[in-house]
Amino acid sequence: MFSPTGAMVAEARAAGGAVGAFNLITVEHAEAIVTGAEAAGLPVVLQISENAVRFHHGRLAPIAAAARSIAESATVPVGLHLDHVTSDELFDQAAAHGFGSAMYDASTRPYQENVAATAAAVRRAHAHGLWVESELGEIGGKDGAHAPGVRTDPEEAAAYVAATGVDALAVAVGSSHAMQARTARLDHRLIARLHVAVPVPLVLHGSSGVPDDELVRAVHAGMAKVNIGTALNSAFTGAVRSTLGDDATLVDPRRYLATARSAMADTVAGSLRLLAPHVTAAT
């Protein structure tokens, strides 16, 4: 069933866990994410990024409608989130297309501009009942806020949240987007300090590159929403490559998309189990 992201995150946090949020590109991704969540018996968030919308020729409606419909027919709570939005025009479409939440990403702008644009976006979104996530960017940073060396300062984060009114904050604590190897090391002391300083839920981006035990520790330290994208695409593409490699005569896309979908579902179920409350970190 469809569920608002904000309520799901609050509930997971209250129980000591985090909500897994997975980026979808195709309908098969959405189906796999929900199948994985149903297998784990846990809530999940479907995320559509601005980049994914661009892939769909800039049209939000068809892929959003498919995701929303898949969410509604699920047997577990499923949220719908518009991710990493830099365009005001796209951001303002979120509520009308059935999203419960959206990320306004002004992280590449100078701090004061980020604050002003995000505060205005939050006001507009709240008028439509949306839950808004945003992030602090590295001023002038080439790789963005989630490059491995970048860190979010707890005091600045608290001031940023107060000035913008955001409902959740993506923080830079050692992860980095689009990693294919799971070698990221998180700054757990910083996560704990951010958890104390920042009055809204914390979001971990670039989680594909974070090993299992690090993810579990991050949730214990206070992460409330964990974003995963690349790991699904690795599973998808690996399955397609292997299925096509096994049979040079295969032309029916359903055959290789089915293997891709099931590989993604397994990845989702495994990740969600790690983020659930009461999972113990390996030491």
Summarize as ranges the residues that interact with Zn ion (CB under 5 A): 205
User: Distance between CA 142 and CA 171 in Å, rounded?
Assistant: 17
- Residue 163 exposure: Cα atoms within 13 Å on the Cβ side: 16
> Which residue number, 1 or 55, has a Cβ lying nearer to Zn ion?
55
* Number of residues counted as binding ligand G3H (CB under 6 A): 16
DSSP 174: S
Residue 268 touching ligand G3H (CB under 6 A) = no
Number of H helices and E strands in the chain, helices first, is 11, 8
DSSP 46: E
Treating both helix axes as pointing N-terminal to C-terminal, what angle do 111-126 and 154-164 enclose, rounded to 10 degrees?
40
> Which residue number, 205 or 225, has a Cβ lying nearer to Zn ion?
205
Residue 83 touching ligand G3H (CB under 6 A) = yes
Q: What are the CB-based long-range contacts (under 8 Å, 24+) for 272-275? A: 272/20, 272/36, 272/37, 272/40, 272/42, 272/44, 273/40, 273/42, 274/212, 274/215, 274/216, 274/219, 275/12, 275/17, 275/18, 275/19, 275/20, 275/42, 275/215, 275/219, 275/226
Is 83 catalytic? The answer is: yes
The token duo for 80 is: 């719908």
Residue 225 touching ligand G3H (CB under 6 A) = no
Task: Write the CB contacts of 107 (distance below 8 Å, at least 6 apart in sequence).
Answer: 114, 134, 135, 136, 137, 138, 144, 145, 170
> Which residue number, 61 or 178, has a Cβ lying nearer to ligand G3H?
178
Q: Which does 23 bind (CB under 5 to 8 A by kind): ligand G3H, Zn ion, none?
A: ligand G3H
Residue 20 touching ligand G3H (CB under 6 A) = no
Binder of ligand G3H out of 74, 229, 268, 275 (CB under 6 A): 229
Backbone angles phi and psi of 88, in degrees to 5: -60, -35
Binder of ligand G3H out of 107, 207, 259, 271 (CB under 6 A): 207
Cβ of residue 232: shortest distance to ligand G3H, in angstroms? 8
User: Distance between CA 49 and CA 81 in Å, rounded?
Assistant: 8
Residue 152 touching ligand G3H (CB under 6 A) = no
Candidate segments 93-101, 226-234, 240-248, 270-278, binder of ligand G3H by CB under 6 A: 226-234
> Which residue number, 193 or 205, has a Cβ lying nearer to Zn ion?
205
Instruction: Give the contact letters, 88-127, x = binds to ligand G3H (CB under 6 A), - = no.
Output: ----------------------------------------
Binder of ligand G3H out of 206, 223, 259, 260 (CB under 6 A): 206
Instruction: Give the contact letters, 163-202, x = binds to ligand G3H (CB under 6 A), - = no.
Output: --------------xxx-----------------------
Q: Which does 35 bind (CB under 5 to 8 A by kind): ligand G3H, Zn ion, none?
A: none
Handedness of CA 249, 254, 256, 259 (dihedral sign): negative
> Which residue number, 123 or 260, has a Cβ lying nearer to ligand G3H?
260
Residues taking part in catalysis: 83
**Residues in touch with ligand G3H (CB under 6 A):** 23, 83-84, 177-179, 205-209, 227-231
